[in-house]
Amino acid sequence: MAMDSSGAVHSGWHHVGQYPTGGLEDADLLTDLVEWIRAFTAGNPQPAPTFTLPDGPPFYRRCWEICREIPPGQLLTYRQLASRAGRDGAARAAGAAMRHNPTPMFVPCHRVVRQGGALGGFAGHSTPGEPALLLKQELLELEGCCPNNAARRGILSHSQVDPASH
């Protein structure tokens, strides 16, 4: 997790451990975000702390803003997300916005699924059984979105999930 020179938060999977150009650290915000993650992984999701979204194309930013509003335990389809962002029929573009989400978890792109409820992709991966999709499944289970949420496995155990059981 890092802030860029404009104060926008980056926590993406694509560049783990790398600070954005001109990046800085805000200890107070970092503490708030860590506490939020602890509550979330304990099965007690709360609204994410306030932070500034990084720059991006206007449609992507609108999708990220809408995604931030999806409550825990609820889902939107890529089509619904595109429509709410003002571009009916742009489900693929909404998917691209989620794939380029610089702040996963805090902009909960795991709550966006394909029409009919299929998971779609996560962190740029879409092959069934991949760890990224298993993580998306587990995040949704943690929020009570999936039929098999009784086990409530921790999100760090995603490699132990049997995809055939979901």
Tell if the pTM clears 0.85, that is, is over it.
no
Domain definitions of the chain by residue range = 2-165
CATH class of 2-165: mainly alpha
Integer Cα distance of 59 and 90 in angstroms:
10
* Terminal-residue alpha carbon distance, the chain: 31
Helix, strand, coil percentages for the chain (3-state, nearest 5): 40, 10, 50
Catalytic residue among 63, 67, 109, 145: 109
pLDDT tens digits in sequence order for the chain, 166 residues long: 555 555 666 555 554 444 555 555 666 667 877 888 888 878 787 777 777 888 899 999 999 999 999 988 889 999 999 999 999 999 999 999 998 888 887 888 889 998 887 787 776 667 777 777 787 888 888 888 763 333 333 333 333 333 333 3
Q: Would residue 109 show up in a list of annotated catalytic residues for this protein?
A: yes
pLDDT at 92: 94
pLDDT at 66: 96
In three-state secondary structure terms, 128 is: coil
